[in-house]
Each structure stands twice: as C-alpha cells, then as structure tokens.
Structure 1
Amino acid sequence: CDIKISVLQSETELCFPQLLNMSCKKHTRPYTETMIIYIVFSSISLLTASLNLLVIISISHFRQLHTPTNLLLLSLAVADFLVGLFVMPFQILLTEPCWFLGDLVCVLFYFLPFITVYASVVNMVLISVDRYVAICDPLRYPTKITQKRVQVFILLCWIYAVFCNFMILYDNLKQLGRYNSCYGKCVITINGAVDMVLFFILPITAIIILYMRVFVVAVSQARAMRSHIAAVTLQCSVTVTAKKSEMKAARTLGVLVAVFLMCYCPSYCVSLSNYDIMIGSSSTVVVIFLTYLNSCLNPVIYAFFYPWFRKSVKLIVTLEILQPNSCEANVL
C-alpha cells in the first residue's frame, strides 16, 4: 500500500494564477487558525531544541554520566534536538495551502524528518535491549554492554536510518514531481507496508516483549528482596541498592517507551488505514503535532525521573560548567 502526502486543495484561488489549469487550487485558512498553528509550532520547536540541548550538554560534559545507557539517551536526544531545530520550523511550511519551493526541495524536505523518526525508533529498541540485559542478566551486563559496543550500535542505528530513508524515497528522487497532478503540490509516495513492518510492527513487538520480560524479572526480584530484607548484610545491601537503581531506570525508560508509543501510534494508524495525508488539513496538523511532541516530552520525563538531569541543568544554567574541572562534578 502506498501512502501519499499532498497539499490540501479547495475551490478558491489558484496557487499559480499565471498557469491557469496547470495550477493547484488554494485553500485559504482562517487567520486565527493560522496564528494558532504558527505560535504553537514555534513554541514547541524552541522548547524542544532547548531541552534536548540541555540533555546533550549534560551527558557529553559530565564524566559521571558517560554510561552505556546514557549514551543511548544521548543519541535519542540528538534526534529530538534535530526535530526541534529543523523539522518543526520547516513543518510550518507544510501547513500552508500551497507548495512554492519546487519538486526537489519537496523530496529533500522529508529526508531529515524520516531519518530522525527512524533513528528514534531504533534507539528505543536499543534502550529496551539495554534494560533487558541490565535486569535479566546483571552479572554479565558490564561485559556485554560496554561503551564501545554501544557507540558502534548507535553508529549503525543512524546509518541504518539514513539507508532505509534513501531506499524508501528513492522513487521520488528518481523522477521528481511524478506524483504531482498540478503545480503547487508537494506529493511523495512511500511503500506503506515496508515502512509499517520495519519501523513500527517489528520494533514495537520487540520493545513490548523485552519490557514484559523485564517487568516479570523485576517483580520477582522485588519479592525476593522483601523476603530477605531482614537478613541483609552490608555487602548485600549494596547489591540491593544497585538492583533498585537498575529497576528504577527500567521504570523510567518504560515511561519513555510508553510516551513514544502514544505519540507515534496515531500517525501509523493513519498509514494503516491507507488514508491519504493531506497537508494543510487540521487532522494532519494534529497527527504531526503528536508525533513531534514526543521529542519535547522526552527531556521532560528526564527532569521528572532523573535527579542527575536536574543537577546538571542547574550547573549549566548557572554557568558553573565553565569552571575548571567542572566535568568531574558530582551529579549523581
């Protein structure tokens, strides 16, 4: 099934009056609705870029945060930062009733959004694998999940996202404007079945299975700790604290994945229904807004669940990170 994305038309004015019958018809959006869309998208864009930049600086600067799990969060923050900095502002152009930037820009415009979306999906899978190993095989976690291995997987994640994005949009690049029925449209087509399987069904299935396993093991560990709490020695208490820390991280990242699913499911449900996405319509704006809102919510989740993020932000905002040896500061 192919998904077509086009500019909304209405029987009002022409996008290119000089082209007469070759021009698409232009739908005029109410001024109030237009201003709301501009203000909301601009505000969310600025907030998304700012919050994710704080995450990137925090994990990159402070040595204590250089852990395999945080490297995965850093990769996710980079994808979210690109969404806030580039994707959301340009998305405002697609809310306009006509497309004036040509066929090449139309296709290239979709590269960055698709890359960031695909990279985010794969990052979520990697985060789930990380928590699975940490909870279900804690003794071998330090040897299985090392920083170098995580860095390699992150690199492969982004390469995979770029490659798949190129393959999905290749037909649109090969013959520019082949899906436009008139001038003033930005229409691309992708293989909806391939996109659905590779970047929704398979990743979501893997994430759900991994987290179900993590939940079962976490519950059994919690029961075991409660039953032996009276006989805990100093050494065991350290182990218990470590296990509690791992399970807390699993819960936090579980919330992260749940929010991700809630934000991305509507767009894939639209794709699954084989409904043509009309850019410029109110329903499309809502679906796109929910998808990109995930990039803004991720750092908010960190702020609520991760004390290290709140401490890091305080050091960044107060410019204490400019002090010598600030990278060695205790933020845990």
Structure 2
Amino acid sequence: MSNSVNVTYSSVLNTSAVDKGQLPTSAIITMTLQLLSMVAIIIGNILVLVAILKFRSLQDITGIFVANLALADLIIGVTQPFQVAFFLFPEMERNKIACILRFEIILFACNASIYSLVCTVVDRFVAIAYPLRYPNIMTRKIAFGLVLGIWIFDFCCAFIPFSENDFEKSPFCLYELVMNKYFRLWNHTCGIIFALVMFLIYVKIYLIVKKHMRQIQIEATVYTDDPTVRRTKQTNTVVAIVVLFFHISWLPFFIIELTMLEVSQVTQNKVLVANFLVFLGVMNSIVNPIVYAWKNKQYRRAFQKLLGLKIHNDEMSTVQSIA
C-alpha cells in the first residue's frame, strides 16, 4: 500500500482523533451538512410523491418516472444517518457489511436515478417524435414494467460488491480500496454512457421541437396557446433541466473515479475531490423538487395546495383541474 493512500485516509477522515472521542471540525461540518441535506431531501421528495398520488393530472406516464426518481432520491435522504454513523462509531469501518453498504447505498440510489432519467428522456422522445402513436407505444403497463425492471436490475447489481470486493486487502474503509475495480469501471463507465445517450436524445428532441414550433407559427399561431402544447413544452423543459443538473452533479464523480482504478492511482487530492463530488451528487436529490416547482405550473400549484399556501385567483382553475 502506497504512503499517499495512508496519508489520504488520515487527513480526510482523521480517524485517530475520532478514536480518541474528539471529532475534527471537518467531520462536524460534514455531519451537519449531511443531516441538513437529509431533511431537505426527505421533505422535498415526499412532497413530490404525495402530489403525484393526490392529483390525478400528475399521474401521466412522465409522472410515473418522476415518482420513481423521487423515490430513488428519497433513499439517499433517509440513509444519511447511516453515513453520519461512521463518524460517531469508527469501529463500523472494520465491519465488512457496514463498510460496503456505506458505498453501495449511494450507488444503488444513483443508478436507480440514472435508469429513471433514461426512461423519462425516452418517454419525452417518443411523445415528441411520434405524438399520434405515443398513447399506444408508451402505455401505463409499459411504464410500470420499466419501473419494476429498473429496481430488479438495480437490486441484482447491488449484490455484486458483497461477493466481489477487496475489503480483506484494504487497511481501511475507503471506496477506491474496498470496491472491486472492475465493478467500479463497469458502474462509472455505464454512468458516462447513459449520460451521453440522454444528451444525444435531448439534442434530437430539441431539433424536433424547433421544427414543430416553426411549422405551427407558419400554419396557425392560435395553436401556440393550446393547453396541451403548453404543458408538453413545460414537461420537456423540466425534464431537460433535471437531466442537466444530474449531469453536472454526477458526471465529474464518474470521470475522476475512472482515474483511480488502481491503488497506485489513489492520491490525497483525488480522494478529497471525489468526496466533494459525492456530496455534490447527494445535493442533486434536493434540486429536483425545486425544479418542478420552478418550471412546471401543475407541480407548483399542487405543492402550494398541499402546503396550504395562498393561490392567486387567476390561477385557481389550474389548481382545480388537478384536484
């Protein structure tokens, strides 16, 4: 084991101080941020799930994938206390199952988010590219089947690290040392490939929408005020922003991890950056409900109604239509 790895561990986690019962300032700050993020993630994503369950107009095909994405984000939120426990009980790092779970929970939820986003993007592409055939292609049965497939596949993949890992050879519980390098290579490469696929699909969606809008303006401008056209545009915008934020949050982590597949490549600076990028990815679970409220009037009015907030009279019909 290289000296750089040992220095990384002691400087990042400061376990000697923890063992003496003295939490370093960095650990206290990290724990505080994790607990605050937990509250924000849980409140925001429960609000999304309740809104979809309560208001029928949000229960479309896209709503099914949005709910699945919110569920994946919720998993990250409710498991934050488990992450915090490693600071308070350093002996957990010497437990193989606990150590692997520490990383696998994040990967499990992150992968579920990626698969949900891919399904959402494909759903938007079919809706835009084949509007007349869309109801027959993307049915509720197919949507629920995809959601079920996401979780089955994710669960199967989640068991791999428990049988294929390097825990016995690792002097401490560090992601880059404990998790099998081939599993990390496969996981992060797939994340980058899926990100690229979503980007290319959305470029195609943008070109199709641009062409449609040009045709509408030429043929009949009155149709630009059609509620269906407005809602489709809002949905496409929301999904695009959610995908963009996900890429910003997780792509850098995937990329830097590919530079630490070998133990000799693990350095203090890389681990520090990777730790920050993981926290950035966790913050992404807070962003989605904010995007829904910011860019989608249906979700915004649903949130206002659930929270008992005042709604303007000129928008009351929008709320009533989703009740």
Q: What's the TM-score once normalised by structure 1's chain length?
A: 0.79
- The one-character-per-residue Cα deviations of 1:2-41 (angstroms, maximum 9, x if unpaired) are xxx998125x875898xxxxxxxx997643x333222222
Match of 2:41 among 37, 42, 48: 48
In the aligned structure 2, how far is the partner of 1:93 from the partner of 1:68? Answer: 38
The aligned counterpart of 1:229 is 220
CA contact (8 A) 2:293 2:300 kept: yes
Q: CA RMSD in A?
A: 3.3
CA contact (8 A) 1:9 1:97 kept: no
- Which of these residues, 80, 100, 119, is aligned with residue 126 of structure 1? 119
Structure 1 SS opposite 2:169: coil
Change (3 A) 1:329 1:282: same
Count residues with an aligned counterpart: 299
Closer/same/farther in 2, CA of residues 307 and 277 from structure 1, 3 Å limit: farther
2:192 counterpart residue number: 200
Whether 1:220 and 2:207 are equivalent positions in the alignment is no
User: Partner of 2:82 in structure 1?
Assistant: 90
> SS of the counterpart of 1:100?
helix
> Unpaired runs of 5+ in structure 2?
310-318
Please state whether the residue corresponding to 1:257 is helix, strand or coil.
helix
Whose relative contact order is higher, 1 or 2, with alpha carbons under 8 Å and at least 6 apart? 1
Q: Structure 1: how far apart are the matches of 2:190 and 2:137? A: 26
**SS in structure 2 at match of 1:250:** helix
1:165/1:16 CA distance change after superposition, 3 Å: same
The residue number in structure 1 matching 2:58 is 65
- Distance change in 2, residues 1:237/1:247 (3 Å): closer
Q: Take 1:278 and 1:107, find their aligned partners in 2: how far apart are those partners?
A: 21
1:251 aligned residue (227, 237, 242): 237
Relative to its length, the structure with more strand (as a share) is 1
Q: Distance in 2 between matches of 1:313 and 1:56?
A: 11
Percent sequence identity over matched residues? 21
* Residue correspondence of structure 1 range 71-110 to structure 2 within 5 A: 71-86=64-79, 88-94=80-86, 98-101=90-93, 102-110=95-103
Q: CA deviation at 1:210?
A: 1.0
Instruction: Give SS of 1:110's match.
Output: helix
Higher helix share: 2
Change over 3 Å in CA distance of 1:70–1:278 after alignment to 2:
farther
Equivalent residues in 2 for 1:115-194, closer than 5 Å: 115-172=108-165, 177-181=167-171, 187-190=177-180, 191=182, 192-194=184-186
1:265 partner amino acid: L
Tell me which residue corresponds to 1:268. 254
Cα displacement string for residues 257-291 of structure 1 (whole angstroms, at most 9, x for unaligned residues): 00000000121121122253879x65343112101
Shift of 1:95: 5.6
- TM-superposed CA distance for 1:243, in Å, is 3.1
Separation in 1, partners of 2:147, 2:134: 18
Cα distance 1:107–1:168, how it changes in 2: closer, same or farther (>3 A)?
closer
Q: Check the 8 A contact 2:10/2:16 in 1, yes or no.
A: no
Note the C-alpha offset of 1:329: 5.4
> Structure 1 residue 286 and structure 2 residue 276: aligned?
yes
- Give the residue type in structure 1 aligned to 2:205: V
The 1-side partners of 2:97 and 2:224 are apart by 61
